Amino acid sequence: MRTRAALLSRLFRRPPTPILPPMPDSDYKPRLGFDIRVKPPRSGGGRTRRRVEPEADARACEREDCDEKAAVAAPKSPREPNVRIWLCARHAAEHNKSWNYFEGLSAEEAEKARLASMHGDRPTWQMGKNERARAAANARGPADMDDAHGLFKEQSAVQRQARGEYRDGRKLPRLQVKAFQTLDLKVTASGGEIRRAYADLVRRYHPDSNGGDRSAETQLQEVVKAHQILKKAGFC
């Protein structure tokens, strides 16, 4: 029994893991054609060493008759904020004390800059006149998607009715929206489309086209009224 256990132990004993030396850079051959090592060597060879930045050159104060060492780089003027001048601690304090952002601005420009600073120098619009935001808010949304099977037709109609109809960034009165619906047109229909729809509906509802039958006169009057509303609004 003991001999059998010793034999099995000898057969299934794992060999010791060899300790391999680091692979020289010259022997490394990447399989994919590019180096995937965490720290690939530099082109000059040898190990990568931490880069040591050289010390910055000592600068002198740029004020006349001052030989002190510069301490800070300050903006040159309010109109040239990206241009820097090197100043010592004393002249930097004087520069900050004499700083006037409104220097060189007219009264109108100064007032405009003051009002802009109240909301972070970001563009604003007067309430009720932001046509661009209004048009974006009423652009095509998920409710106006192409619905081939009519699954969302009722929801889409309710949402359009709640927010209203817009043409050229302007909300249309309910009377004009109803006129477009009477002619079976979208509110974005062109003048030519309005005239063609009006002519087709007049021919359809006119008594002469129905053998003298006057039962469609009500629809004919609604079509004529809708066309007059859209024509008065300048749509056709």
Distance from C-alpha of 100 to C-alpha of 78, rounded to nearest angstrom: 7
- Report whether 183 contacts 226 (CB < 8 A): yes
164-236: in CATH 3.30.70.100: no
pLDDT band at 171 (very low <50, low <70, confident <90, very high): confident
**% pLDDT > 70, the chain:** 59
Indicate the range of 37-41, 73-77, 193-197 predicted with least confidence: 37-41
The gap between the terminal CA atoms of the chain, to the nearest Å, is 108
Distance from C-alpha of 63 to C-alpha of 85, rounded to nearest angstrom: 9
Judge whether residue 142 has pLDDT over 50.
no
* Domain ranges across the chain: 72-117, 164-236
Tokens coding 15: 């060999």
Contacts of 114 (CB under 8 A, 6+ apart): 102
Tokens coding 100: 């006037």
pLDDT tens-digit series, residues 20-73: 566 666 666 666 666 666 665 666 555 555 554 444 457 899 998 898 999 999
- Report whether 172 contacts 217 (CB < 8 A): no
Q: What is the DSSP string of the chain?
A: -HHHHHHHHHHSPPPPPP-PPPPPGGG---SSSS---SSPPPTT-S------PPPPPP-B--STT--SBP-EEEEEETTEEEEEEEE-HHHHHHHHHT--TTTT--HHHHHHHHHHHTTTT-----TT--HHHHHHHTS--GGGS--TT-TTHHHHHHHHHHH--EETTEEPPHHHHHHHHHTT--TT--HHHHHHHHHHHHHHHSGGGGTT--TTHHHHHHHHHHHHHHHHTT--
- The pTM (predicted TM-score) of the whole model is 0.35
pLDDT band at 13 (very low <50, low <70, confident <90, very high): low
Indicate the range of 36-45, 138-147, 213-222 predicted with least confidence: 138-147
Pairing label, strands 72-77, 80-87: antiparallel
Contacts of 159 (CB under 8 A, 6+ apart): 143
Which amino acid, one-letter code, is at 228? Answer: Q
Tokens coding 134: 């209004």
* Predicted local distance difference test score (pLDDT) of residue 168: 83
* Predicted local distance difference test score (pLDDT) of residue 116: 84
Number of neighbours of residue 222 by Cβ within 10 angstroms = 16
Which of 72, 75, 103 shows the shortest CA–CA distance to 88?
Answer: 72
